[in-house]
Amino acid sequence: DTAVSQTPKYLVTQMGNDKSIKCEQNLGHDTMYWYKQDSKKFLKIMFSYNNKELIINETVPNRFSPKSPDKAHLNLHINSLELGDSAVYFCASSQMTVNTEAFFGQGTRLTVV
Amino acid sequence: QQQVKQSPQSLIVQKGGISIINCAYENTAFDYFPWYQQFPGKGPALLIAIRPDVSEKKEGRFTISFNKSAKQFSLHIMDSQPGDSATYFCAATSSGSARQLTFGSGTQLTVLP
């Protein structure tokens, strides 16, 4: 069983479109995250979501909005896609204690054309 | 401002050699320092982690050395193997940030057969 699963794995779309990436974890973790990995492989936190508390990285444009229907799911919705949004997006989950591993999904490669 | 600085950007080692990757951090609130390994097309996976009250942690061929006063930590891979070829990320986190990971910029390790 996949611990953290994301769909789709690849997403190609035109500028200006709205798209969503779905994430599900079956680990029973209480916190989920979205990370962005750019073309230079730099990984940066976008959001964390714990018990309905959302922590947003201040550099994330408000076109990006996380939506969590329940503790096991954290989806990422992106409005008005721009060329610069092209990247690999990783969902992750962990339990909010020290020494707890964060498990990552396999990533969604988003290409905006 | 990059809170975790990682070097080198790339590293080429002969099979059987020692690979060393260094990281330095700025935020003294960080209390957990994991290393992640990422293969192409995959999400990062936890390799080994350390807390600042420990100066060294060893798991198999992988060792973390931690210097709290210098705010530096490093990953040593002994007897490096071609299968170790991957991108390695140091990271840091604190309880005050919902355990969001702040990543270093990554090191592309190539182990030659």
The 10s digit of each residue's pLDDT in B49-65 is: 999 999 999 999 999 99
**What's residue A51's pLDDT?**
75
First to last CA, chain B: 38
The whole-angstrom distance between A103's CA and the closest CA on chain B is 7
Report the pLDDT averaged over residues B21-25. Answer: 98
Which letter does DSSP use for residue A60 in this model?
S
- Higher-pLDDT residue of A99, A35: A35
| Residues of chain A positioned with their CB less than 8 A from the CB of B30 | none
| Other beta carbons within 10 Å of A24 | 19
**What's residue B97's pLDDT?**
74
Q: Give residue A36's region: left, alpha or beta (phi > 0; psi -120 to 50).
A: beta
Banded model confidence at residue A99, pLDDT cuts 50, 70, 90? low
The whole-angstrom distance between B18's CA and the closest CA on chain A is 24
Average pLDDT value over all residues in chain B: 94
**What's residue B113's pLDDT?**
94
- Cis geometry, peptide bond prior to residue A66 (ω within 30 degrees of 0): no
Q: Which residue of A has its CA nearest to B34?
A: A101
Please tell me the distance from the alpha carbon of residue A91 to that of residue B104, in angstroms, as a whole number.
18
Q: Which residue of B has its CA nearest to A101?
A: B46
Mutate to test the interface with A, among B99, B108, B109 (most CBs of A within 10 A): B99
With CB atoms and an 8 Å threshold, state whether A33 touches B100: yes
Report the pLDDT averaged over residues A24-29. Answer: 94
CA B91, A57, B49 angle in degrees (round to 5)? 15
The whole-angstrom distance between B78's CA and the closest CA on chain A is 23
Using a pLDDT cut of 70, give the percent of chain B over it. 98
**What are the angstrom distances between the C-alpha of B98 and each of A2, A49, B61?**
24, 8, 31
Report the pLDDT averaged over residues A13-31. Answer: 95
Mutate to test the interface with A, among B32, B42, B97, B101 (most CBs of A within 10 A): B101
In single-letter form, the type of residue at position B88 comes to: Y
**What's residue A54's pLDDT?**
86
Q: In chain A, count of helices (H) and strands (E)?
A: 0, 11
Return phi, psi of residue B68, to 5°. Answer: -65, -40
Q: Are B15 and B81 within 8 A, CB to CB?
A: yes
